[in-house]
Amino acid sequence: MTVRFNPESSISTAYSSDRPDLLELAQRLQQAMIAPVMLGGALRRADPAELD
């Protein structure tokens, strides 16, 4: 996926010139909101140094 992120203090922005990748990200975020277990798993696997 060629999506880049720009985290700020109260908002995070995703951007890409590849529309299909942005749509895939949107679908995954929607799934994470519906299934919190999925989001929890992703956070457990995340590198703590990358979390703000």
Please say whether the beta carbons of 5 and 13 come within 8 A: yes
More confident residue, 16 or 38: 16
Whether this model's pTM surpasses 0.75: no
The confidence band for 10, taking pLDDT boundaries of 50, 70 and 90, is confident
Angle between helices 36-45 and 19-34 (to 10 degrees): 110
* Strand, coil or helix: 52: coil
